[in-house]
Amino acid sequence: MQRRIFAGLVAAFAIAAFAPAAASAQGIHPGVQTFTQGAQCTANFIFQGGGSTYIGQAAHCSGTGAATDTNGCDAGTLPLGTPVEINGASQPGTLAYSSWIAMQQSGETNADACAYNDFALVRIAPADVGSVSASVPGYGGPTGVGGPSATGATVYSYGNSSLRAGITQLSPKQGAVVQTVGNGWSRTVYTVTPGIPGDSGSGFMDAQGRAIGTLSTVAIAPLPASNGVADLGRELSYAASHGTSVSLVNGGPFSGDIVGAILGS
């Protein structure tokens, strides 16, 4: 399990988990589990570009380094082309973009980008594209890409870690932004329930259903049980400036009704 260490203290850890892949009969959609050589994460949103359809996950889901290697500019990572199992798919997808690889290849020196740019795209096999839905379970959306969020702003997410033992009523989450960090590259949020190992990469939406971020870390200090949510707009812009331009695929109508989302799970 990966951890970020600051001033000699464990401040946060990336939240991929290791578990066997399980079959799904519900198709491919935001919130399904992905497995990259055993590392389990939760997919965020659906994207299209260059004639292909992609599902997003965290870049650290394909990391290979030591437990403390979470700086994307020097952490070990599996190569592009690595197979990624996607629940609901009939065959593996392919790791097509990793912010970690892009930053390393370009010699990125921006410390905030290195620390918080944690985004990857998995190309969905053509045979499975017909099974894709862009809607987030329970909530609907996304309705586009959102911008920065003010402190106190309401956020919504859907985590799907196997550690919840298949209890889908625990997957929809609602919370609030606590602070912005990394000069806008990330925001700290509290949700009920918090993200746990296996939720890495899951998507966050604002009160209008706009996609605003991807889950990267669970913090231990200084804000215990808070989550680090990387800014999706910046992650997509970085990908485009490094040769991978994709567009978010909007889902169905958005509802911020957490009770309805839980009951519908």
DSSP-based three-state secondary structure for 263: helix
Q: Which amino acid is at 79?
A: P
CATH number for the domain that contains residue 225: 2.40.10.10
Mean pLDDT calculated for residue range 44-63? 96
Are 125 and 162 in the same domain? no
Does any domain span residue 72? yes
Does any domain span residue 142? no
**Shortest CA distance to 253 belongs to which of 161, 144, 107?**
144
Does any domain span residue 58? yes
Domain residues for 111? 3-131
Predicted pLDDT at 10: 34
Predicted pLDDT at 50: 95
Question: What band does 25 get if pLDDT is binned at 50, 70 and 90?
Answer: very low
Does any domain span residue 189? yes
Mean pLDDT calculated for residue range 113-133? 97
92-120 burial, b for 16+ CB within 10 Å, e for fewer? bbbbbbbbbbbbbeeebeeeebbbbbbbb
Q: 9-23, 53-67, 229-243 — which is least confidently predicted?
A: 9-23
Predicted pLDDT at 200: 85
Q: Is the confidence at residue 15, as pLDDT, over 70?
A: no
Are 178 and 114 in the same domain? no
Predicted pLDDT at 130: 96
- pLDDT per residue over 172-221, tens digit each? 889 999 999 999 999 999 888 655 567 889 999 999 999 999 998 766 54
Q: What is the DSSP string of 112-159?
A: HHHHH---EEEEPPGGGGGGB--SPTTT-B--SB-----TT-EEEEE-
Q: Is the confidence at residue 33, as pLDDT, over 80?
A: yes
- pLDDT per residue over 34-46, tens digit each? 999 988 899 999 9
Predicted pLDDT at 261: 73
Cα 49 to Cα 77, 134, 190, distances in angstroms = 24, 14, 32
Instruction: Provide the whole-model pTM.
Output: 0.87
Cα 163 from chain centroid (whole Å): 17
Does any domain span residue 87? yes
How far, in Å, CA of 55 to CA of 46, rounded? 5
Question: What band does 149 get if pLDDT is binned at 50, 70 and 90?
Answer: confident
The rounded mean pLDDT for the chain is: 84
Does any domain span residue 30? yes
Contact 213, 203 (CB under 8 A): yes
Question: What band does 156 get if pLDDT is binned at 50, 70 and 90?
Answer: very high
Predicted pLDDT at 68: 63
